[in-house]
């Protein structure tokens, strides 16, 4: 069975909803190309080419080995792989100039960025400067920021005009302040007439991640595929998860047609971490184990909700993949992709 059929179908849906015609004959550079967002950007471009829009070349940057589920796609003649560390100055100097640049590289998992603080900061600052200088005249640039910059606020819903209240000593300051500085860099180039936008991405999920991802949703699925799901706390934190196909559809619109400098990117369906675990457990027919002592995760916000009125009004985005459907797609993909690693008896 084609393990990537879900991603291919999602990509076709995105292409049917977003006018990508201006990409014809152009070259695109994507950092973080083998991550969740990068994977969906690549499949969208594949679907775009198959629909008759001849994207000339896509330059993808990958620091580590290309995952198996992307190998066939990476081998396409219209894709140029640049394997190396973006934090290496000499590596960045050799990157090509392109008409479109999507800067999606970064350590999205807290467990990773807290042990790579210097690189987390550099990826969002020095690297952003150099990538902006690689943008061709009249080109367009998209910086993937984070809803994490609202950390510390206590209000019902976060607007793009809101400012977070975290200290530089915060456990996640490298990520939060890195994204904030990256946005400031983009703003400085916009004042010089450069077409650059920033997208404050909320919790995004879907098919297309490596095994061992430590973010809650994927950790729950992986635990559930092995057995029961044990929580680290009582799961009181509330989240709004956005399915990756919805997120990438919005991101394409921001890059190509956005009129504002900054956009919140998320969905609407609220869920607590405990409820999320229970949904996954029900699908996998396992139990959720809640600890007696309610430990808090360092730097984690209890509630995070984004006001997405801009994307609703500007792009007409009002329909989102329901969480249950998105979880079903994600679980199914992980079962197929990682069956040999996860197999235990007759169940995965």
The CA-atom distances, in angstroms, between 24 and each of 20, 152, 243 are: 8, 43, 27
Of residues 281 and 72, more confidently modeled: 281
Tell me, what CATH number does 43's domain have?
3.40.50.720
pLDDT at 115: 65
Whether residue 46 lies inside any domain: the answer is yes
pLDDT at 63: 86
Phi-psi region of 152 (alpha: psi -120 to 50; beta: other; left: phi over 0): left
Q: What percentage of the chain reaches a pLDDT higher than 70?
A: 92
Contact indicator for 273, 219 with CB cutoff of 8 Å: no
Whether residue 118 lies inside any domain: the answer is yes
Whether residue 106 lies inside any domain: the answer is yes
Can you give the residue range of the structural domain that contains 178? 5-210+240-269+302-322
For the ranges 18-27, 77-86, 216-225, 285-294, which has the lowest average pLDDT?
A: 285-294
* pLDDT, mean over the chain: 91
Q: Kindly tell me if the per-residue pLDDT of 229 is higher than 60.
A: yes
pLDDT at 152: 87
Whether residue 13 lies inside any domain: the answer is yes
Average pLDDT over residues 110-137: 87
Instruction: List the one residue out of 311, 202, 217, 324 whose CA is nearest residue 266.
Output: 202
pLDDT at 331: 96
pLDDT at 212: 85
Which residues does 61 contact at the CB level (< 8 Å), separation at least 6? 29, 30, 31, 32, 33, 82, 83, 84, 86, 95, 105
Q: Count the domains in the chain.
A: 1
Which residues does 16 contact at the CB level (< 8 Å), separation at least 6? none
Query: Which tokens hold the place of 195?
Result: 């077409």
Q: Kindly tell me if the per-residue pLDDT of 160 is higher than 90.
A: yes
Residue with tokens 């620091």: 63
Average pLDDT over residues 152-181: 90
Whether residue 340 lies inside any domain: the answer is no
Beta strands in 130-221 (DSSP E): 135-146, 195-201, 204-205
Burial class (CB in 10 A: 0-12, 13-18, 19+), 97: middle
Average pLDDT over residues 238-257: 97
Whether residue 277 lies inside any domain: the answer is no
Average pLDDT over residues 141-163: 92
Average pLDDT over residues 126-134: 98
Count of other CB atoms within 10 angstroms of residue 226: 14
Note the pLDDT tens digit of each residue in 21-64.
999 999 999 999 999 999 999 999 999 999 999 999 999 999 88
Average pLDDT over residues 151-160: 89
Whether residue 232 lies inside any domain: the answer is no
pLDDT at 228: 95
Note the pLDDT tens digit of each residue in 291-332.
987 766 555 666 778 999 999 999 999 999 999 999 999 999
Whether residue 329 lies inside any domain: the answer is no
Largest CA distance in the chain: 61
Contact indicator for 229, 280 with CB cutoff of 8 Å: yes
Which residues does 156 contact at the CB level (< 8 Å), separation at least 6? 305
């Amino acid at each position: 069975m084609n393990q990537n059929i879900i991603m291919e179908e999602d990509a076709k849906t995105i292409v049917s909803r977003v006018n990508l015609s201006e990409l014809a004959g152009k070259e695109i550079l994507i950092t973080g190309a083998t991550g969740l967002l990068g994977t969906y950007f690549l499949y969208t471009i594949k679907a775009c080419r198959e629909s008759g829009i001849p994207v000339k070349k896509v330059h993808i940057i990958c620091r580590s080995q290309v995952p198996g589920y992307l190998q066939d796609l990476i081998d396409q003649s219209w894709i140029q792989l640049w394997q190396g560390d973006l934090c290496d100055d000499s590596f960045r100097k050799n990157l090509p100039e392109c008409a479109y640049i999507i800067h999606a590289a970064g350590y999205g998992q807290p467990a990773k960025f807290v042990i790579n603080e210097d690189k987390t900061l550099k990826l969002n600052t020095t690297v952003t400067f150099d990538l902006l200088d690689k943008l061709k005249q009249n080109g367009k640039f998209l910086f993937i920021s984070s809803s994490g910059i609202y950390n510390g606020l206590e209000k019902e819903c976060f607007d793009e005009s809101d400012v977070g209240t975290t200290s530089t000593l915060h456990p996640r300051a490298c990520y939060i302040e890195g994204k904030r500085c990256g946005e400031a860099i983009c703003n400085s180039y916009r004042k010089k007439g450069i077409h650059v936008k920033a997208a404050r991405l909320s919790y995004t999920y879907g098919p297309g991640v490596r095994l061992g991802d430590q973010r809650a949703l994927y950790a729950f699925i992986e635990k559930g595929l092995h057995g029961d799901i044990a929580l680290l706390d009582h799961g009181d934190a509330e989240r709004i998860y956005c399915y990756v196909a919805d997120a990438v559809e919005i991101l394409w619109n921001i890059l190509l047609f956005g009129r504002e400098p900054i956009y919140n990117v998320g969905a609407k369906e609220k869920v607590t971490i405990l409820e999320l675990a229970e949904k996954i457990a029900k699908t996998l027919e396992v139990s959720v184990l809640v600890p007696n002592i309610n430990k808090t995760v360092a730097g984690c916000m209890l509630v995070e909700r984004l006001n997405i009125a801009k994307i609703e009004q500007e792009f007409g985005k009002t329909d989102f993949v329901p969480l249950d459907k998105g979880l079903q797609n994600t679980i199914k993909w992980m079962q197929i992709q990682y069956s040999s690693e996860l197999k235990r008896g007759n169940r995965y």
